[in-house]
Amino acid sequence: MSINIHAESPSTSGAGEHDGDDEELYVHIGNLGDYKDEVTPLLSPKHVPLVLGKITKEAAIATHSALHGGMSEEKEQQIREIYDRLDIDNDGTIDIRDLTLALKHETPHIPSNLAPVIMSKMSPDDEGRVDFYSFSSYVLENEQKLAEMFADMDRNHDGLVDVVEMKNYCKDIGVPLDDQKAQHIVNKMDQTGSASVGLKEFQDFMLLYPSSDMKDIVDFWRHNLIIDIGEGSQIPEDFSQQEMQEGVWWRHLVAGGLAGAVSRTCTAPFDRIKVYLQVNSSKINRLGVLSCLKLLHAEGGLKSFWRGNGINVIKIAPESAIKFMCYDQLKRLIQKKKGSQEITTFERLCAGSAAGAISQSAIYPMEVMKTRLALRKTGQMDRGIIHFAQKMYAKEGIRCFYKGYLPNLIGIIPYAGIDLAIYETLKRSYVRYYETNSSEPGVLALLACGTCSSTCGQLASYPFALVRTKLQAKTRTRYTSQPDTMFGQFKYILQHEGVPGLYRGITPNFLKVMTHLFRSF
């Protein structure tokens, strides 16, 4: 039996007509209430189908389309395609799980943590699910609002918004952008390679964003679209003067600090295994990841894998604050020298790297403490971190808190440069050869580019990180006869273990980096 939905009056066609073996049931809009008891909504987590019995998903959607009245077939088809992409489990409705997954895979430029807000916009009755009628209403209303915003940006009324129009509009509403930022935003939306954005491109890109306030949208662009994974770790976020006055900057720092604390806590076991292998593994005393796991668990139990994580989390706040303040001051200095010219990406990268070096210098004693605490044995910190630091100072003096500082500082340069350069090169190559109709690769391509660039950056900088850790841990290892300088350590390792000795512990380090990358996406 098949079902046909007709938006006609009951008099034009008899309900229940059938011919031969192919029985057809005609359900009229006017009589749809007779079937309400035969529709089962999605109420259980087991994904019971939306429609059972006489009304299928297709029939329900056709009915919802008819209720909209004047919507053209072409428009209905466009909305239906979007609806089907969001209805991940294909049960006829969109729930919070569908929307969260769809945001991650279909629209990665809109954070998936906005799913509850978007859901409340689509389903104002707070039913927890969105049918085709509610979704169509949301799309039509949102597209109208976006069309009005687009008209405000399109100053010359040619149907396109270019970089100049984007920059001027943002300046007028009090959220100024420089040329490079405006260009990056336009490139994100541009799907034809025209270096400008049409109305449909703008609507498609921003359709699911829950706010209709243009200032809020521009703020979203600035803080979510501009900095890619390749430079995000080296360049702190930019804030306008108004945002500085309103306190937006410190809210971003707090949010980033909390996210960093959770991230570091989740990856702390990888970090401790890496440090232990860097210091204790050698050509004679071979240790692998599994043997190290067993050894650490036998010595201190499960909680021992988080040794040193406390101070690693504590140093997030001062490190982020110092880096941000230094970056802001360095930017002002560069801007003062350049006058009215915009700061380039390379200059921002230099300012970010210098700010990172300053912040690292300020909190470096905590880095040494983290390494020492990660290598300590059970019962060696019974009287707390402060007493542990006092013992270090009494035994080794103030210089012990800056052991390994030089390789740590030098290691920043190859990682920052290689990571960013390879990421940008791979991304451009991918767009040139595989994404000819799009200005930006998909999320999987970006993840692959980020993974490859990060791997190359790690390979270049890891030997410096290994030497730094060895120097930091010098008095907590049985290899006290080893050199206590950076060049001496490099020479000693190459003579006794060869090049592989410079990469001891890199496996758990890669696992930690991959975890951070997947969390970003």
Is position 422 within any domain? yes
**Residue 517: its pLDDT value, please?**
52
Nearest to 243 by CA among 231, 233, 234, 252: 252
Confidence band for 365, pLDDT divided at 50, 70 and 90: very high
Tokens of 183: 């260009």
Asked if 367 and 419 sit in the same domain, the reply is no
Asked if 179 and 282 sit in the same domain, the reply is no
More confident residue, 329 or 179: 329
Asked if 370 and 251 sit in the same domain, the reply is yes
The DSSP code sequence of 354-419 is HHHHHHHHHHHHHHHHHHHHHHPPTTTTTT-HHHHHHHHHHHH-GGGGGTTHHHHHHHHHHHHHHH
Is position 12 within any domain? no
CATH assignment at residue 91:
1.10.238.10
Residue 184 has pLDDT above 50, yes or no: yes
Q: Using the 3D structure, point to which of 359, 375, 398 is the last residue of a domain.
A: 398
Average pLDDT, the chain: 75
Query: What CA dihedral angle connects 382, 387, 389 and 394, to 10 degrees?
Result: -120
Is position 56 within any domain? no
Give me the percent of the chain exceeding a pLDDT of 70: 69
Please give the Cα distance from 479 to 470 (Å, whole number). 9
Asked if 210 and 288 sit in the same domain, the reply is no
Q: pLDDT tens digits, residue range 126-160?
A: 667 888 888 888 888 888 888 998 998 898 889 99
Which range of 11-20, 206-215, 340-349, 456-465 scores highest in mean pLDDT? It is: 456-465
Tokens of 64: 């919802």
Burial group, residue 298, by CB count within 10 angstroms (0-12, 13-18, 19+): exposed
**Residue 41: its pLDDT value, please?**
46
**Residue 507: its pLDDT value, please?**
87
Is position 15 within any domain? no
Please give the Cα distance from 462 to 474 (Å, whole number). 18
Asked if 326 and 346 sit in the same domain, the reply is yes
**Mean pLDDT of all residues in 222-250:** 52
Asked if 256 and 347 sit in the same domain, the reply is yes
Asked if 328 and 411 sit in the same domain, the reply is no
Please give the Cα distance from 482 to 261 (Å, whole number). 34
Q: pLDDT tens digits, residue range 44-77?
A: 344 444 444 445 555 555 655 555 556 777 888 8
**Residue 368: its pLDDT value, please?**
92
- 51 three-class SS: strand
Confidence band for 27, pLDDT divided at 50, 70 and 90: very low
Asked if 376 and 409 sit in the same domain, the reply is no
Please give the Cα distance from 325 to 70 (Å, whole number). 56
Q: What are the φ and ψ backbone dihedral angles of 196, each rounded to 5 degrees?
A: -150, 170
Task: Determine the length of the chain.
Answer: 521
**Mean pLDDT of all residues in 329-337:** 83
Domain of 510 in residue numbering reads as: 403-520
Asked if 204 and 258 sit in the same domain, the reply is no
Is position 9 within any domain? no
Asked if 349 and 493 sit in the same domain, the reply is no
**Residue 227: its pLDDT value, please?**
39
Is position 462 within any domain? yes
Q: pLDDT tens digits, residue range 286-322?
A: 888 899 999 998 988 898 899 988 898 888 888 888 8
> What does the buried/exposed string (b/e) look like for 244-265 if buried means 16 or more CB atoms within 10 Å of the residue's CB?
eeeebbeebbeeebeebbebbe
Nearest to 142 by CA among 224, 85, 210, 227: 210
Q: Using the 3D structure, point to which of 193, 224, 255 is the last residue of a domain.
A: 224
Q: Using the 3D structure, point to which of 365, 398, 431 is the last residue of a domain.
A: 398
Is position 116 within any domain? yes
Asked if 215 and 261 sit in the same domain, the reply is no
Confidence band for 168, pLDDT divided at 50, 70 and 90: confident
Please give the Cα distance from 347 to 236 (Å, whole number). 13
Please give the Cα distance from 386 to 454 (Å, whole number). 35
Confidence band for 120, pLDDT divided at 50, 70 and 90: confident
More confident residue, 42 or 177: 177
- Total domain count for the chain? 3
**Mean pLDDT of all residues in 175-195:** 77
**Residue 240: its pLDDT value, please?**
55
- Residue 93: C-alpha distances to residues 57, 115, 129, 135, 368 (Å): 9, 15, 6, 9, 54
CATH assignment at residue 343:
1.50.40.10
Which range of 24-28, 425-429, 467-471, 506-510 scores highest in mean pLDDT? It is: 467-471
Give me the percent of the chain exceeding a pLDDT of 90: 10
> 253-262, 468-477, 487-496: lowest mean pLDDT where?
253-262
**Residue 233: its pLDDT value, please?**
45
Q: pLDDT tens digits, residue range 416-451?
A: 667 667 776 777 777 667 654 444 556 567 667 777
Asked if 187 and 267 sit in the same domain, the reply is no
**Mean pLDDT of all residues in 118-123:** 84
**Residue 289: its pLDDT value, please?**
87
**Residue 467: its pLDDT value, please?**
93
**Mean pLDDT of all residues in 486-491:** 91
Residue 229 has pLDDT above 50, yes or no: no
Tokens of 75: 């428009």
- Helix H or strand E segment including 94: strand 94-95
Residue 267 has pLDDT above 70, yes or no: yes
Is position 61 within any domain? no
